Structure 1
Amino acid sequence: MEQPVHHFSELFEQLGLRSDAQSIEHFIERHSPLPKEMPLADAPCWNEGQAEFLREAVEEDADWAEVVDHLDVSMHKAS
């Protein structure tokens, strides 16, 4: 059975954040770049539930893992 493909906007919805393109871009610009050695889930911009979701998505290689990886790369890039 194929895993569902999630879009970037769906990840932001799942995290309880605004999910339109402008809001996503603003969020990433505001909270980036993260230090190279900082895991995405440890970033100070997340609440406990959001951090746990991000951590589990990667650790369990959940169907969200690919889009979480995309967010990780986006937030570690220099502005």
Structure 2
Amino acid sequence: MTPDELKALEVATLVDARGTACPGPLLDAKRAIGECPAAGVMEVQSSDEGTIIDIQRWCKKMGHDYLGDAEDDGFWSIYLRKSA
């Protein structure tokens, strides 16, 4: 998906982990996934670029769909769809 397509998604759960060092953003995402409905989109905002790889690996391990990421004003928005 393009950055514009990602930003247009309806986000069910937003995790603002900007300013948190690794592995903080991933741990925040793991805690928040329970709040996200099945097949819902979760956005994780992080100022740590390494979070992208962490979220990709976690999605693969847990069966969630990694939708992509977009850089915006010094931080990354990382999008995933929760498994059903």
If the length of structure 1 is used for normalisation, what is the TM-score? 0.31
Which structure's residues are more often strand, by fraction? 2
Higher helix share: 1
